[in-house]
Amino acid sequence: MKLGINIDHVATLREARGEEYPSPMEIALLSEKSGADGITMHLREDRRHIKEKDVIKVKENIKTKLNLEMSLAPDIVSFAYDVEPRDVCIVPENREELTTEGGLDVLNQKEKIKKAIEKLKNKNICISLFIEPDLKQIEMSKFLGVDAIEIHTGRYSNIYFDREKKDLELENIKKAVFFARDIGLLVNAGHGLNYKNVTEIASIKEINELNIGHSIISYAIYVGIEKAVIEMKKLIE
C-alpha cells in the first residue's frame, strides 16, 4: 500500500508569517527520501497555503509522483492542464471550511465533473474523485470515466469513543472499497488518518494508496519529517 504525504500544512506554517520557510519542496524531498511514494498538495481556491509556484517547484523536483487535489474551479482545472501532475484528485471546496469536510457529490455535478475529466484526460492525467464510501457515488464515478476514487475516511476518523459506530463505518468503507475494485477502479483513501487509527484502514489490502497530511506534519514538529514518514510507513506495512 502506497503512502502519499500531503504537505499543505508546511505551507500553512510558512504563510502564518509570510516567510519563505519552511519550504514545502524541501519537505517533499525529505519525505521521498524517507519512503513516501508520492506527494499530495491541495491548491485551494483561496490559496490559503499552497500556491501555484509550490506545485510547479515540487513537480519539477520530486522523483516520485505528484497528486494535485483541487476543486472544479475553471482556473485551477486549467492550471492542472498546464502543469500535468501524474494524478489529480477532485475534491469539494467550501470557502469557510477548515479542511475538506466531505466527499464530492458526483451524482449532482455530473456535467461539471465530466467536462473537467475530458479536459485533463487529454494530458493522460490519472483522475480520481474524492467521495464518501457510497455505492451510488462510486457507480457514477466509474460511469464518468475516472481511473480512481479516493474514499473519504473523515467520518470514520472522527468517531473516537463509540466502537460500535466505528465498526459500522469501517464495514461501510470495506464494502465501498471492494465494490469499487470489482468495477475496475483504483481505490485510494484518506482524511483524518493518524498514527492511532491508520492500521485498521491499512488492513484493507485492496486500497492502493493512503493520503495523509495533518498528523504526519504535526508529528514532524516533534521528531522531524524523516522519522514521521518512516513511522507511518511502518504502521501501514
List Cβ neighbours of 62 (8 Å cut-off, separation of 6 or more).
28, 29, 32, 39
214 vs 216: CA distance, rounded Å: 6
Residues 38-67 that bind ligand PXP (CB under 6 A): 42
User: Does 69 participate in catalysis according to the annotation?
Assistant: yes
Per CB under 6 A, the list member of 22, 38, 92, 190 interacting with ligand PXP is 190
Q: Out of 42, 93, 150, 169, which one is annotated catalytic? A: 42
**To 10 degrees, the CA torsion angle through 82, 86, 89, 93?**
-40
- 8 vs 122 by CB, closer to ligand PXP: 8
As measured in angstroms, the least distance from the Cβ of 235 to ligand PXP is: 14
- What is the pattern of x (binds ligand PXP, CB under 6 A) and - over residues 144-183? ------x---------------------------------
As measured in angstroms, the least distance from the Cβ of 177 to ligand PXP is: 15
Question: Residue 100, interface with ligand PXP (CB under 6 A)?
Answer: yes
Number of residues that bind ligand PXP (CB under 6 A): 19
As measured in angstroms, the least distance from the Cβ of 234 to ligand PXP is: 17
Question: Residue 92, interface with ligand PXP (CB under 6 A)?
Answer: no
As measured in angstroms, the least distance from the Cβ of 25 to ligand PXP is: 18
User: Does 9 participate in catalysis according to the annotation?
Assistant: no
Closest CA to 211 of 29, 6, 42, 1: 6
Question: Residue 213, interface with ligand PXP (CB under 6 A)?
Answer: yes
Per CB under 6 A, the list member of 214, 226, 230, 231 interacting with ligand PXP is 214
Q: Out of 9, 49, 69, 152, which one is annotated catalytic? A: 69
Q: Out of 93, 152, 191, 209, which one is annotated catalytic? A: 191
Per CB under 6 A, the list member of 11, 27, 55, 89 interacting with ligand PXP is 89
State the catalytic residues.
42, 69, 191
Summarize as ranges the residues that interact with ligand PXP (CB under 6 A): 6, 8, 42, 69, 89, 91, 99-100, 130, 150, 190-193, 211-215
